[in-house]
Amino acid sequence: MSAARVAFAQINTVVGGLAGNAAKILQAAHEAHARDADVLVTPELSLTGYPPEDLLLRPSFIDAQTQALTQLCADMAGLAGLHVVVGHAARRPDGKLCNAASVLCQGRVLGTYSKLELPNYSVFDEDRYFVAGGAPLVFVVKGVPFGVNICEDIWFERAPRAAAAAGARVLLVPNASPYNRGKQAERVQVARRSLQGTGCALVYANLVGGQDELVFDGLSFVLDAQGRQVAQLPGFAEGMGLVEVDASGKVTGVGDLPAAVQTSEQEEVWNALVLGVRDYLGKNGFPGAIIGLSGGIDSAVVLAIAVDALGADNVRAVMMPSRYTADISEIDAADMARRLGVRYDSIAIAPAFQAFESMLAGQFAGLPLDATEENIQARVRGTLLMALSNKTGRLVLTTGNKSEMTTGYCTLYGDMAGGFAVIKDVPKTLVYRLAAWRNTCGKDGEVIPERIITRPPSAELRPDQTDQDSLPPYDVLDGIMSRYMEHNEPPQRIVAAGYPRAAVEQVVRLIRVNEYKRRQAPPGPRITLRAFGRDWRYPLTNGFRETI
């Protein structure tokens, strides 16, 4: 039985970067052709980048993308016999758009498939831009009938079964499936389920790279007609795999084809955060990053991520001690900066804080000290970091974690001031696990001083302050947060699961009253099932109160 050779490429595109994206697709096509591939599959909307969001509402963008597709097709005319599946937006005769994939071969468009299932939940908003298609597209190469489905299509029965009914025996699936913890196992399980009863094999080509809050992890894979996984590309990096398939759904790897590799959750999350930081700064043209280093666990983890993402020469750490900063905080911060080889500066904030105290003395006369004075310290630090950012062009990376975002344990225009919030979707308990993993992953030894990990966390804005003065223990807080915010469990069920009633009431109340802060927080990489950002839409003005 004859077989066709299929290449699948996970590439890192830029939303709206039509020329650069077309160049990446063309480069992948040349590589696939050099390896005697008959078919190349690229990710969903590979030409526009994903998600293009409201760029799709601009007629000039659609016109430019259509021209780019025409030019790309012409540029591939010399690649004899190679069929390239390219994702793009397609304008129908009535002017409406489809999320489409076209098969290009030797300067011609052989056919176009329009996505049937349009996701409109979580981080997805495709109903805003596209109308559903779904008419099967099947093309035959070397006797092998190929069908095209796009991403969400394989999460339901209709599109795979329609392709199989039209004669397809191999499903080519361009994807832009964003990362969250545990996502890959779910993808493979869903793909296996979609193949049941179709007799088809499946080639799944996923996007890789960071796009604003989203991180795409790649991990493209191939299943044979029995649902056995034949190959999987590495995560968080560009790459290409090659297989041979026949009309029976038999799949054979070609060359040194990588198999699925199990990694720890900590390594997976770390790689996602590194990629998110690297692409956000790189794609937006920032020359480097600035981080306010405190001697605490959060800023230590952010600094290590930034160095892994950008290199030590492109990261600058600034310590800004106050009268409440412990000596060991300064010692540990300087030690960590030395271990990672980054520029380290110390700017005492006492003069600025004293100036604010003097300016406000008359206004505050007779009033007790409270969080106001603590917040002034944080805002002095934010002002200094933003001044350095303005002067150098480097982006400030904020250091607040998801537990703090949940409870509002952060200061607007203070520690929230910056351009990218690296760990805003990382619960505090996971921050500790990430620090421990980074120290033992074997790359360059212990980069985070052990005392930073073992000390009780503190904002150091008043004498002898610890986080647990104001918050439940982090294992309790994070458990409540995950159940209530990520999984929408009612408070009564959370209490029934064993969490203290008072802690549940406190966390639920803090989530409600601190939405105004989160709306003003910088974007940051999404690594959980539900992050504060595009898949959390809580009303700022809200009269609803949940009772237990």
> Euclidean distance between the first and final Cα of the chain, in Å?
66
User: How many CA atoms are closer than 13 Å to the CA of 471, on its beta-carbon side?
Assistant: 28
Give me the amino acid identity at 302: V
On whether the CB atoms of residues 82 and 53 are closer than 8 A, the answer is no
Angstrom distance (rounded) from CA 84 to CA 62: 21
Q: Give me the residues paired with residue 221 across strands.
A: 204, 232
Amino acid at 276: G
| Cα-based distances in Å from 501 to 491, 493, 504, 535, 547 | 9, 11, 5, 27, 11
* Distance separating alpha carbons of residues 501 and 458, to the nearest angstrom: 25
Q: Please tell me the distance from the alpha carbon of residue 166 to that of residue 172, in angstroms, as a whole number.
A: 14
As a whole number of angstroms, the distance between CA 26 and CA 23 comes to 5
Query: Which residue in the list 24, 44, 268, 428 is annotated as catalytic?
Result: 44
Query: Which residues contact residue 463 at a Cβ distance below 8 angstroms, ignoring those fewer than 6 apart?
Result: 324
73 labelled catalytic = no
Asked whether 86 and 104 are in contact (CB, 8 A), the reply is yes
What are residue 93's phi and psi, to 5 degrees? -55, -30
Distance CA 439, CA 450 (A): 9
Residue 523, helix vs strand vs coil: coil
Do the beta carbons of residue 155 and residue 190 sit within 8 Å? yes
Q: What is the rounded distance in angstroms from the CA atom of residue 288 to the CA atom of residue 351? A: 28
Catalytic residue among 24, 115, 402, 424: 115
Q: At 396, which helix (H) or strand (E)?
A: strand 395-398
462 vs 124: CA distance, rounded Å? 43
151 among known catalytic residues: yes
For every residue of 453-507, which 3-state class applies, written as one string?
HHCCCCCCCCCCCCHHHCCCCHHHHHHHHHHHHHCCCCHHHHHHCCCCHHHHHHH
Annotation marks residue 505 as catalytic: no
Sheet holding 315-319, edge to edge: 343-346, 315-319, 289-293, 395-398, 420-421
Q: Which member of 73, 98, 151, 200 is catalytic?
A: 151
Catalytic (active-site) positions: 44, 115, 151
